[in-house]
């Protein structure tokens, strides 16, 4: 698709207020798209990500409840998007144990409503669905690829598996251009502070600046493939550029422990993490995944996509961002 063709494209980003929604909106605007973004209540949602990227005035934000079919259908018919990016729904594995019904409704039912809306609209809309590495469960030392069986171990993961299979079913049954990106962990300064990576970075910066209250974490012996969110939204866009829809594992291909993430973050601020981190058994999830590894080679081959940032670069960028924001707050 060349620039002139993209100029006539309208993208609907469901969940535009989140980390990925903001970075994807910026990418699509730079590609010449008109961008419409949804949140449950657009009038009251704080679009911090869009504001921080300086693009809030270039996006039309509308209210849409993913678990309400009438709401979804009305938005699809009103805006007639050429592409829909489904990034909405609950994003926390831990929260899904406390609110399992909300996890299923916002993720699985929300995906079904989008698929049904596209089917009923009878328009050539391309749909991207944000999947999750949590679907695989514990991979051990084996790197998961597109053929690896799913073994979900949380309500969040169960919802993502359901959404994944719904996408595949509608693609086969109705010929929809619908695909899922099976996303491994990806971070940025736009991550909410409740996520462990942000919690670590902000704590290290706080301690380095004199507040010595310890950082409390759960199990440090978990291993993840951490990437950079702006890299991953490019993969989303590239999946919808393909001639035929297909699902892809999106990751860096490098897995490290949470202890490594902590150690390198504290080292950036010239701190010994062992002096400032305490383990709290209360923060351990009921069925935590110990090891997650990925094989993104198919995405590299078919999409010409490769992660530009590995975990060390991610840590560096996040540490720089929290320090820069603190400096800005002083002026």
Q: So which residues are the catalytic ones?
A: 132, 134, 156
Non-local CB neighbours of 6 within 8 Å, separated by 6+ positions:
31, 32, 33
Contact 200, 322 (CB under 8 A): no
Give residues with Cβ within 8 angstroms of 211, minimum separation 6.
Answer: none
Give CA separation, 167 vs 8, 111, 214, 241, 297, in Å. 26, 8, 44, 17, 22
- The secondary element (H helix, E strand) that includes residue 60 is strand 60-63
Which residues touch 178 (CB under 8 Å, ≥6 apart)?
A: 115, 118, 126, 127, 129, 167, 170, 171, 245
- Of the candidates 119, 49, 227, 110, the one whose C-alpha atom is nearest the C-alpha of residue 37 is 49
CA dihedral 249, 118, 92, 55 (to 10 degrees): 90
Facing residues of 127 across strands?
A: 84, 178
Of the candidates 203, 197, 209, the residue with the CA atom closest to the CA atom of residue 276: 203
In the numeric block, which tokens belong to residue 25? 């909106």
Give bridge partners of residue 179 from the DSSP assignment: 128
Q: What 3-state DSSP class applies to 180?
A: strand
Residue 217 sits at φ, ψ, to 5 deg, of -130, 165
Residues 135/157, Cβ–Cβ less than 8 Å: yes
Query: What is the tally of helices (H) and strands (E) in the chain?
Result: 13, 13
* DSSP category for residue 136: G
């Amino acid at each position: 698709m060349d620039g002139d063709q993209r100029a006539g494209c309208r993208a609907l980003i469901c969940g535009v207020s989140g980390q990925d929604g903001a970075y994807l909106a910026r990418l699509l605007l730079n590609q010449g798209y008109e961008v419409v973004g949804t949140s449950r209540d657009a009038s009251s949602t704080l679009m911090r990500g869009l504001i921080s990227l300086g693009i809030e005035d270039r996006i039309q934000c509308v209210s849409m409840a993913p678990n309400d079919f009438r709401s979804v259908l009305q938005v699809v018919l009103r805006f007639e998007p050429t592409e829909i990016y489904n990034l909405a729904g609950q994003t926390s594995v831990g929260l899904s144990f406390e609110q399992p019904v909300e996890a299923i409704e916002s993720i699985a039912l929300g995906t079904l409503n989008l698929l049904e809306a596209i089917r009923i609209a009878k328009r050539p809309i391309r749909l991207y669905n944000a999947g999750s590495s949590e679907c695989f469960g514990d991979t051990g030392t084996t790197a998961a690829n597109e053929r690896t069986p799913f073994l979900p171990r949380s309500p969040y993961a169960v919802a993502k598996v359901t959404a994944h299979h719904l996408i595949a079913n509608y693609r086969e049954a109705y010929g929809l251009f619908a695909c899922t990106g099976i996303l491994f962990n990806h971070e940025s300064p736009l991550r909410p502070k409740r996520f462990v990576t942000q919690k670590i970075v902000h704590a290290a910066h706080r301690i380095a600046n004199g507040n010595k209250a310890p950082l409390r974490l759960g199990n440090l012996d978990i291993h993840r493939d951490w990437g950079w969110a702006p890299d991953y939204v490019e993969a989303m866009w590239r999946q919808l550029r393909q001639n035929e829809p297909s699902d892809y594992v999106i990751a860096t291909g490098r897995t490290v422990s949470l202890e490594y993430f902590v150690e390198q973050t504290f080292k950036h601020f010239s701190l010994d993490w062992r002096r400032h981190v305490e383990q709290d058994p209360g923060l351990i999830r009921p069925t935590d995944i110990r090891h997650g590894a990925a094989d993104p080679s198919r995405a590299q081959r078919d999409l010409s996509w490769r992660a530009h940032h590995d975990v060390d670069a991610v840590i560096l960028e996040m540490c720089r961002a929290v320090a820069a924001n603190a400096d800005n707050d002083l002026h």
